[in-house]
Amino acid sequence: MLLNAKRYSTALIALTLITGTACTKKAETPAPTDASAPKTEAAAPAAPAGSDIIRIGEVGSMTGSEATFGQSTHNGILLALKEINGRGGVKGKKLEVTSLDDQGKPEEAATAVTRLITQNGAQAILGEVASSRSIAMAPIAQKYQIPMVTPSSTNPKVTELGDYIFRVCFIDPFQGAVMAKFALENLKVKKVAILRDVKSDYSVGLANFFTDTFKKGGGTVVVDQSYSGGDMDFKSQLTSIRAKNPEAIFVPGYYTEVGLIGGQARELGLKVPMMGGDGWDSSKLTEIGGAAMNGSYFSNHYSSENQAPEVQQFIKTYKEAYGGTPDALAAMGYDATHVLAEAMARAQSLSPLDIRKELAATKDFHGVTGKISIDAFRNAIKPAVVLKVENGQFKYQTTIAP
Ligand code: PHE
């Protein structure tokens, strides 16, 4: 609804070209395509033994109300692949990615991952961003025993679905605690309202984890309201929230709805700060919410203001390739790809089992989103940053360690 179709098609063309330059064999790397397209089309054969290509499958929301998640992640993945292939690939083979668009729908994500594994011969999967879609994909990757690395799905359940499922990000019990502590200690608020997306595992989980820590710290959730992803009118929930006079509103949703909620909250005279999680991270947040988002806070995986040389180098390379500052999704896509490639490089063979073993053994990988070590539950333990929305910019506030 809020997508500009013309702009997306331009973006798609740009992605196609970049995909081409990232790999040696242009024709074999299709641009992101619709997961539900006819199965006979664009299906690459499984990589034969002795092939000089390692096939990676990527599933992402390239269109729909979370399109920037898929697009940014895809950009980060391509940038990493270009670097990896530029220095000779892995075990003398080039990495090639086939990307499928799930349109932001869990059923499409499931179809896409099945197709990548059974028809394209994917040897590993990157994706998804949104937890509900990773939850739809994980049992399939697990069933076929193909390693799957989600760059940024934070709901705990994702990696609980099997020992082939990994992530390079922190999980929501931590992220919820980060924002609860920030509310209590930095904003010094004790009465908070919650507005959660009941259709999203991420949103429901994060709302619950926030509540746990906030209550333990002496806070009260004065009202807990819900919506369904895709909704556009939040006035009745916001009216109920207004009646309870909260000092802040926690909205752990994705940027399209959050932007709309911000605008409608201000229209109803609700002036208290809004807070959220990584799902806010998109330049669209303030395009949709405008000035209403100013003075709001959210937790995230990375800040582009981090002056560490590797972060600034990544930002510079990304800007040269795509023209904008990378968001956390891009950084996580980039890190996930490097973590996977390093695991493949260390692995005794490129069998899924050997790749899986080395993913599990990832230790102190220096990513642009911080140091990544995979724990016994296949999660990464990393600090989070808190950012403040100020005139369309996300300003670094603080880092909160686990
Ligand atoms: N963590 C979110 C989820 O699990 C996805 C997300 C990550 C969104 C990073 C934006 C930035 O659904």
> Do 81 and 129 share a structural domain?
yes
- Kindly state the average pLDDT of the residues 284-293: 97
For 284-301, give the DSSP string: HHHHHHGGGGTT-EEEES
For the chain, what is the domain count? 2
Which atom from ligand 1 is nearest to the alpha carbon of 175? 1
Which residue type is seen at 205?
G
Look at residue 25 and tell me whether its pLDDT is greater than 80. Answer: no
> Do 177 and 164 share a structural domain?
no
Look at residue 64 and tell me whether its pLDDT is greater than 70. Answer: yes
Q: What are 254-270's pLDDT values in tens digits? A: 999 999 999 999 999 99
> Do 162 and 69 share a structural domain?
yes
Q: Per the domain annotation, does 395 fall within a domain? A: no
CA of 299 to the centre of ligand 1 (A): 11
CA of 337 to the centre of ligand 1 (A): 17
Q: What are 152-202's pLDDT values in tens digits? A: 999 999 999 999 999 999 999 999 999 999 999 999 999 999 999 999 999
CA of 152 to the centre of ligand 1 (A): 5
Q: What is the pLDDT of residue 49?
A: 60
CA of 400 to the centre of ligand 1 (A): 18
Which residue type is seen at 392?
G
Q: Per the domain annotation, does 338 fall within a domain? A: yes
CA of 162 to the centre of ligand 1 (A): 20
> Do 199 and 144 share a structural domain?
no
Q: Per the domain annotation, does 396 fall within a domain? A: no
Confidence of residue 11 (pLDDT cuts 50, 70, 90): very low
> Do 42 and 159 share a structural domain?
yes
Where does 297-397 have alpha helices with state H?
Answer: 309-322, 328-346, 352-360
> Do 245 and 312 share a structural domain?
no
CA of 347 to the centre of ligand 1 (A): 29
Look at residue 112 and tell me whether its pLDDT is greater than 70. Answer: yes
Name the token pair of 237. 């929930």
Average pLDDT, the chain: 91
Which atom from ligand 1 is nearest to the alpha carbon of 202? 12
Q: What is the pLDDT of residue 47?
A: 56
Q: What is the pLDDT of residue 174?
A: 98
Q: What is the pLDDT of residue 135?
A: 98
Name the token pair of 214. 């906030």
Q: Per the domain annotation, does 227 fall within a domain? A: yes
Last residue of a domain, one of 300, 319, 340: 300
Which atom from ligand 1 is nearest to the alpha carbon of 158? 4
> Do 151 and 270 share a structural domain?
no
Q: Output the domain CATH number for residue 160.
A: 3.40.50.2300
Pocket test for ligand 1, best of 137, 150, 152 (most atoms within 8 A of CB): 152
> Do 39 and 85 share a structural domain?
yes
Task: Please give the backbone phi and psi of residue 191, each rounded to the nearest 5 degrees, phi first.
Answer: -120, 110
Task: Please give the backbone phi and psi of residue 177, each rounded to the nearest 5 degrees, phi first.
Answer: -65, -35
Residues with CB under 6 Å of ligand 1 are 69, 129-131, 152-155, 202, 278-279, 281, 328-329
> Do 75 and 31 share a structural domain?
yes
- Kindly state the average pLDDT of the residues 236-240: 98
> Do 289 and 181 share a structural domain?
yes
Q: What is the pLDDT of residue 51?
A: 87
Cα 332 → chain centroid? 7
* pTM of the predicted protein model: 0.90
d(CA 61, CA 72): 10
Which residue type is seen at 334?
Y
Which residues constitute the domain of residue 293? Answer: 172-300
Tell me the sheet residues that pair with 229: none
> Do 269 and 289 share a structural domain?
yes
Distance in Å from the first CA to the final CA of the chain: 38
Q: Per the domain annotation, does 390 fall within a domain? A: no
> Do 146 and 29 share a structural domain?
yes
Q: What is the pLDDT of residue 21?
A: 32
Name the token pair of 314. 């990544």
